[in-house]
Structure formats: C-alpha cells, structure tokens
Structure 1
Amino acid sequence: MPDVIPAALQPFSSSRVREMPDNQIVTVADLARHDDSVVRLWIGEGDLPTPAPIRDAAIAALEAGDTRYGYSQGTPDLRQALSDYHRRHWDVEVAPERFCVSIGGMNAVVMAMQAILDEGDEVIMPSPAWPNAKQVVAICGGVNVAVAFDFHDDGAITLDLDALFAAVTERTRAIFINSPSNPTGWRMPLADMRRLRDFCRERGLWIIADEVYNHFVYDGQGPAPSFLQLCEATDRLLVTNTFSKNWCMTGWRAGWVVCPLGMETLFARLCQYNTTGVAPFVQRACQVALETGDEFIAHQIARCQASRDILVQGLEALDNVTVFTPQGTFYLFFKVHGLPGTSLERAVQLLRETKVGVAPGSAFGPEGEDYLRICFAIAPTLAEEALARLVPYLRTLSAVAPSAPR
C-alpha cells in the first residue's frame, strides 16, 4: 500500500505515526464491507443490538437536555455504579474515585500508557496481541517487547512466565496482560497472576491489565479473575475495560480505567486534555447497562458458547486444521495446513472462495503469522452457515496438505 502521507509533508509529520502499519483486519474487511452475502467474522463485535433499556436511557437523557459538558472523569453516579458492579461480580471493593470513564477501551489503554510511559520505556506484551495496544506503546514513545505464546500440537496455548520475566530489562516499565486474550482465547491461570503480581511488586513494575473479556468464559467457569482481587489499592496496577463487549455497545465509545489510589488527579487531567469527557447521555446509558445488564451478559455468554462449540467441533473434524479451543473471549484461533501464502493472503483467499471473512493472525504481530481468527459472538445459526461454507473448501485442501498434529 502506498504511503498515506504525501512526500512533501513527510518531513513535517510524526515518525511514530508514519511507521504505524496498516491494520490488516481492516484490509480484509474493506474487500467486502458492502457485500451482504459475506459472513463477517473478522471484527470483534457481537451481532446483537444494544439492549432496549440502555438505548432508552440515552434517549431519555437527550430529551431531558443532558447534552452539556459534565465531569471529565465520569459522573459520580456512573463511577458508583462501576464500583457496585465490581463488588457484585468480583467481590472486591474499588472506591468510586479510582474509576476514570473513557472514550471506549481504546482510550482507556491510551490513558493508561500516557500515565506511566516516558520516552524509551519498554512494555512487555505476550503476543500475538491486540494490535492497537502495541501501537499505543509506540505513539506514547515507548518500546513494545513481544514475548511469544507457546502453541502446542494438542491445541493448547500457554505463556512461559520465566520467558516473560527474562525479557525484563532496566528500561522495562510495565507488563501488559490481556486475559482472556484477543486473539488467542488464552486465559492466565490464577497462580500465574499471583506470580506476576509478586514479580512486579519486587521490581517496581506496572501491570496494565486489559480485562475486557472477563465475562466471556465458558462451561460455567466465569467470570475470569481480576487483578483487582489480588492487588492492593496502591499497587502499580492499571485496569482497562469497555462497555463495548458485555452490552453490545461498540459504537457508543465508552469504557473505563481503574487507577491506583492517589492517581485520581492525574487521570482527571488526562481526561480533560484527551477528550474533555464522555457525552453525559452516553454515561447515563452506561450506568443503566451496569445496573440492569447482568441478564443480557449471561444471554450473550450462552449464545457465544453455543457458536463456539459449533465451530470448534466442525473445524476439529478436519485433518488439516489445528484448533486452539478458547479458554475465554469470543475468538477462535486456528491454523489451516496446506493453505498457501501469508496469513493475510490466506484470509483473502478464504473470503474469495467461501464468502467467510476472517482476520489474519499476522494482524496481531509476526507471532500470529501462521494463524487465522474467527469472532464467534454471533447467532449459532450463523456459525453453522460459516462452517457449511468453510468445511467443503478446507476439505479440498486436505488431500494435498499434511495432517494437523493430533
């Protein structure tokens, strides 16, 4: 793709921005964004509408004229609702003043990085990882240090903590953990969370915990544990989250950061200078989501589990496919043996041959090059349709491809 910045302007533009790679998920999606015949499984977004009580709350707030500047850090009512929500689901007391409402989970990660990084600081990140988090490190002047997950022939994904710790240098500032993980579906064991907490305490490192998918854990095992349960209020811990996934509010652009006690003023400034705050009518809708949305979360989890099981069982039956059954999230990471080309080329080929849109694993870093990702936050009937399109084509490749290790 040609450079998007005209040559005459390049000397005057930020080198950090010029060096950002294209988002390969968008590259695939743009090939068939307006083709209604495509089963779109490329982007991490559920296919249900935002629940009516949440929509109604925003409409009522708009009609009441709640459209002016408000609290930059979030309304007191919303921050109290966030505190109550964490107490209800994780049995943890988090003071309302520790919450900072953000413009989605993306802005939450941006502010977390801005709050702690200086030029040249390193952030260690298990990879493949959400590409946005990696690029935020660079935009903030930091250096991303990838530590690869281990992919096993039996379909398991693990993270070697000793390898993670060995990557620490004198320039390391933070370790970024997304658990459950996009794109792999890996979930950090509780014992490893404790080891990481103790390691970071001893060395004065920050933990940035992206806990967006904590509810999306299956077979009755959820929610996933939170670092907030393991850490003190003054530990070097920043937790980022979003309203997007739990309540199908991706377009509302609202999320939150939990900061240590004593950093509230710093995050209030970051809000003021980044965004001036989230729209007040959106904050009212978010409050209703927290207060009334538990049943909807449970419905989503059950629906995702049904779709996950359909896709896992169908793809596992193919000799030339290795499936990494997710421990959490609503993503399925898999490898097709015998599908030629790069990960991006494979995703494009599947789109053209089957009309199923998937994300290339390389979108999440070079560690994901051999893999593809499916979002299964969809109706089970749509999962069956995707499988009906994928399986016949993938089966044609198996005659010339080596079998996947079993």
Structure 2
Amino acid sequence: MPAARISQRISAIAESATLAVDAKAKALKAAGRPVIGFGAGEPDFPTPGYIVQAAIDAASQPKYHRYSPAGGLPELKQAIADKTLRDSGYKAEAAQVLVTNGGKQAVYNTFATLLDPGDEVIVPTPFWTTYPEAIRLAGGVPVEVFAGPEQEYLVTVEQLDAAVTDRTKILLFVSPSNPTGAVYSPEQVKEIGQWAAAKGLWVVTDEIYEHLTYDGVPFTSIATAVPELGDKVVILNGVAKTYAMTGWRVGWMIGPADVIKAATNLQSHATSNVSNIPQVAAIAAVSGPLTAVDEMKVAFDRRRKAIVAGLNAIEGVECPTPKGAFYVYADVRALLGKELPSASGPVRPATSAELAALILDEVEVAVVPGEAFGPSGYLRLSYALGDEDLATGVARLQDFLGKAK
C-alpha cells in the first residue's frame, strides 16, 4: 500500500472556518458580487497614523534589516511588560515575554510547550475555531464544556468540575470571548481562577479583546484576580484587535520564564524573529495612548446595538447582547428545518452550516456557522465592518429569513 501523501497529523486539521468564509466572500466580491462579509473579526478602521509612521521610520534604519532575537526585540518585550502592568495590573519581566507572529502562533506555542500526548485541555464552548486545532496539533485533547445563550454563554464552576479527569492539565479561559462576546464578571473570574488553582491546573488566558467591553462592564484578568495561580498561568495577547493591526502579525505570550524560554526555542526553529518593522510599530502601539481605541469603541458600540436589534427583529432568531469584543452569536435553532426559498426551489436547512451556505448563495451575506465554534444551531456575525454595510447586510437577512415557514 503506498504511503499517504499528507501526514495524519496535518490531514486531521480542520480549515479555519472564519478565514474560509472571509476568503469566499472576498473572492465573490472580486468577481463583482455585492457580498456583505460578517465573517472575519477585522476592524474596518486603518491602523492609527502614529503607528504606521513608526514602521515607516524603522524601515529606513539598517539595524532593522537584519536578524533580531527570536523571542522579540528587547525594547518591545519590555514595552509589553509595561503595558500589561498598566492595563491589567499583572507584573511580568521582559524575560517572561515571547513576541510571536500574530496571536495564533502564541496559541500554538503555548500548547506545544505545555502539553504531552493525551493531556486534556478544558475548552469553554463556543470557542474560537483555532483553539482545539492547536491543542490537537500539540498532542492534547480538547474537552468541550458548552454554555448556551440561556447562560449568556458563560460556563460555571460546576460544569468545569464535571469535566475534570486525571488527564486534565489546562483550563483555557477567554473573556471577552470570541465568538460570543461574553464577558465574565470579576466575581466569576475569581471563582473560576480559584477553582483552577485548587485543582492544580494551568490556566491559559487569551486577553486580546481586553479593551473592548461595553455598558460599563470591566475587563478582569484572571492572572491578576487570582494570584494563587502562581506560575501556572500564561497570558496570550496581541495588537491586532485593539489597534486595528490584524495584518501586521504581532502577538505575544507572557508566562513563567522556563515556559517562555522553551517556547522561544520552539519559535527559533519554526519562524525565528517576527518581522522587525511590525515589531517597531507594535512598540508605538502598546506604549502610546488608547485614544484611537476609545474612538473605535464608540463605533463598535453603535454597531453592536444596531445588529442586535436588527437580528432580534427576525422571527426565529434570538441574539443576546454581547458585553465585549465585536461579535454577536445568534441562536438560529428555531429556523432549522424551516422552508426557505432558493434558486433551485424551496429548501429546509437542517444545520447552521447549511443555513449559512444558503444565506451566502441567496442574498450574498457571509456569516460563520456554529459548527466552527461548537454545536450547530448558531451564527456568528462580526460587527467590525462599516455602518452602511452592516445595515445593508442585516436588511438582507431580515428579508430572507423572514420568509421562513
């Protein structure tokens, strides 16, 4: 029997559903179709000018034309440590920071460094599509713990406790959440962190949406709120969402020095240093004011309210109001099995994946189905797109889904 061309390990990886939806939407747009894309979590704002200028200035300096340390420019590592203390009250040294090629590499590096084959990671669900794939690539086993809209997509300690086995090593904790926009209260964060500490678990906390909360809801870092976690916590973050820098590809992980040293060794063989020019831009971002962020939040908040109201006006759609990030997670279970029109005749989508495909084909609106984040029956929509596109897209959804019978 001939050997397989592609390894089992790589063949088992699911494609990033969010990027796949975004790519299809952009391809249709390029072909002249008037597609409205709610798929990618990407602010429609340009990167603030002072950050861009820092990159332009850096590009003319020969020292940035060379290799730099695999773990990141020392001045950026220090700036990240300073920013973390400023924003979340967590004190870390520069030696505890690894600068990565975007947040995804930070996620992969962390799980690859901490997990041995068979180790389990508790993954509150709905989850960002990359988490379970990164866990599996590292030889780990993702254990999903689902919280639906009835719980505002927030898992409880009781649910987490029921998921623990003798192979459990890590709790993944994400607040504000992608894909749901859910935010845990300070009390909930503390309760969950103390539970993890009592169980002796590592906590990997993704804080990339830390500056995007609404309605006066505070962001709470579990690393700061629960000091008893000690040196068994890793913080993931990056500049992509806060500073509208998705394409610059600068993320980081903060953790115990031995973990960071090991992850840096991994990165030295995988990619070496992050491109120096974006690193300099990131220094300007994390060291500068949050004025641009606050201005973007005003627009995000306006769009958040508009999309929630628009979706909830559709019979069969239930859309909780998110408290953070820039996503809504709409419950469309009541629409599944209902008859909807299509170019080839009436159809009855049985899953949210089928419903999302139908919506794209029939009314040229791109949304991401719940299957990308956990159980079927939900749609994720990003409201980080422009106001006009948002209004047009929601109107198309109202018109189309309103025909369900």
- TM > 0.5 fold call: yes
Q: Do the aligned residues in 1 keep the contact of 2:239 with 2:246 (CA within 8 Å)?
A: yes
Distance 1:97 1:342 in 2: 47
d(CA) in 2 for partners of 1:318 and 1:133?
31
Matches of residues 147-166 of structure 1 in structure 2 within 5 Å?
A: 147-152=145-150, 156-166=152-162
Note the C-alpha offset of 1:33. 2.2
Are the aligned partners of 1:24 and 1:344 in contact in 2 as well (CA < 8 Å)?
no
Q: How many residues align?
A: 386
Whether 1:14 and 2:7 are equivalent positions in the alignment is yes
How many angstroms apart in 2 are the aligned matches of 1:107 and 1:382? 31
How far did 1:332 drift? Answer: 0.5
- 1:2-401 counterparts in 2 under 5 A? 8-10=2-4, 13-36=6-29, 37-65=34-62, 66-152=64-150, 156-222=152-218, 224-232=219-227, 234-336=230-332, 337-339=334-336, 340-365=349-374, 367=375, 369-397=376-404, 400=405
Greater mean alpha carbon deviation, residues 287-296 or residues 248-257: 287-296
**Residues of 2 paired with 1:305 and 1:323: CA distance?**
15
Give the distance between the partners of 1:309 and 1:358, measured in 2 at CA.
18
Contact in 2 for aligned 1:67/1:279 (Cα 8 Å): no
Gaps of 5+ in 2: 337-348
Change (3 A) 1:27 1:345: farther
Query: Which amino acid counterpart does residue 42 of structure 1 have in structure 2?
Result: G
**For residues 177 and 137 of structure 2, what CA distance do their matches in structure 1 show?**
22
Q: Could you state the TM-score of these two structures normalised by the residue count of structure 1? A: 0.90
User: What is the distance in 1 between the residues matched to 2:2 and 2:38?
Assistant: 39
Deviation, 1:30, is: 4.4
Contact between 2:217 and 2:323, CA under 8 Å: does it hold in 1?
Answer: no
What is the Cα deviation at residue 97 of structure 1?
2.0
Deviates more, 1:290-299 or 1:99-108: 290-299
CA contact (8 A) 2:213 2:323 kept: yes
Scaled by the length of structure 2, the TM-score of the pair is: 0.90
- Offset of 1:359 from its aligned partner? 0.7
Per-residue CA deviations over 1:239-274 (Å, capped at 9, x if unaligned) read 111211111111111100010255443233233223
What SS class does the counterpart of residue 383 from structure 1 fall into?
A: helix
Query: Conserved in 2, the CA contact under 8 Å of 1:150 and 1:160?
Result: no
Structure 1 runs of 4+ off > 3 angstroms? 22-32, 231-234, 261-264
Residue identity opposite 1:351 in structure 2: L
In 2, Cα distance between the equivalents of 1:263 and 1:145?
23
Residues 13 and 38 of structure 1: CA distance in aligned 2, closer, same or farther (over 3 Å)? closer
- Alpha-carbon deviation of 1:218? 0.8
What are the ranges of 5 or more consecutive residues in structure 1 without an aligned counterpart? 1-6, 401-406
Report deviation, 1:109: 0.6
Give the letter aligned to residue 321 of structure 1.
V
CA, structure 1 residues 297+352, in 2 after alignment: closer, same or farther (shift >3 Å)?
same
**CA–CA distance in 2 between the matches of 1:302 and 1:78?**
28
1:143 Cα deviation after fit: 0.8
Which amino acid letter does the alignment assign opposite residue 363 of structure 2?
Answer: T
Amino acid at match of 2:9: R
Q: State the distance in 2 between where 1:203 and 1:158 align.
A: 20
Asked if the contact 1:179–1:188 (Cα under 8 Å) also holds between the matched residues in 2, the reply is yes
